[in-house]
Amino acid sequence: MGTIKNSIKWLKPIELSFEASKRFDDSYIFLILGGKPHYVDNFRAAYPDRTNFMLMGHKSHFEIPLYLKCADVAVLPNSSKSEISRVSTSPMKLFEYMASGVPIVASDLLSIREILSEKNSVIVKPDSPEDLARGILGILKDTEKSKKIALQARIDVKKYTWDKRVVEISKFIE
């Protein structure tokens, strides 16, 4: 397996997902969206092809809900190795995942824990392909838990609308 330069920070979750995909047979598909063409090309050059791992590259915001509708699990494998990821990142995709009704598996990081909990997601050890794979498989095998946390995430995401943010920011300024 090749090595991606450390300066390409966004690929770290991709590498983690790639490693987790090795723990699944070809009846499972890891469909990865996002990334500028040169990042995607660099990843493809450094990592061997896997039949259950598909790196799709950038998709328009219009297309994202269609992909989420087809997903069984939405994965947010942020790394603890980057301070910005560990402490202050609140990715927009997190809120898209919550609103989608798809169960979420996410890294146990302070930045993620501000929004997610065990009630609305499956929280896994960051930077661990084994734990990520266990979290994904757990969701796929426990349909009741899967439905319960997905529903809770849809309820919880309503606290984070742009309108609610405007109200909170206005209160803070006053």
Using one digit for the tens of pLDDT, what is the confidence trace for 30-57?
A: 999 988 899 899 999 999 999 999 999 9
Torsion, CA 62, CA 68, CA 74, CA 76, rounded to 10: -10
**With contact defined as beta carbons under 8 Å apart, do 72 and 102 qualify?**
yes
* 33 within some domain: yes
pTM, to two decimals: 0.85
* 160 within some domain: yes
pLDDT in tens, 58-78: 999 899 999 999 999 999 998
pLDDT in tens, 112-141: 999 999 999 999 999 999 999 999 999 999
* 5 within some domain: no
The b-or-e profile of 156-167 (16+ CB within 10 A means b, else e) is bbeeeeeeeeee
CATH of the domain at 113: 3.40.50.2000
* 109 within some domain: yes
* 153 within some domain: yes
- Identify the pLDDT of residue 87: 53
Q: Which range of residues forms the domain containing residue 152?
A: 11-173
Rounded to an integer, what distance in angstroms lies between the CA atom of residue 46 and that of residue 63?
27
Q: How confident is the model at residue 79 (pLDDT cuts 50, 70, 90)?
A: confident
* 29 within some domain: yes
| Average pLDDT, rounded, for the chain | 88
Q: How confident is the model at residue 8 (pLDDT cuts 50, 70, 90)?
A: very low
Two structure tokens written together for 8:
């390409």
DSSP code, position 8: -
* 6 within some domain: no
Overall average pLDDT of the 80-92 stretch: 65
**Domain tally, the chain:** 1
- Identify the pLDDT of residue 82: 64
* 53 within some domain: yes
- Number of Cα atoms under 13 Å in the Cβ half of residue 152: 16
DSSP code, position 50: B
- Identify the pLDDT of residue 89: 62
Return the residue matching tokens 């919550």: 98
- Identify the pLDDT of residue 96: 93
Asked if pLDDT for residue 146 goes beyond 90, the answer is yes
Torsion region of 15: left, alpha or beta (phi above 0 gives left; psi -120 to 50 gives alpha): alpha
Q: What distance lies between CA 114 and its chain's CA centroid? A: 15
- Identify the pLDDT of residue 1: 37
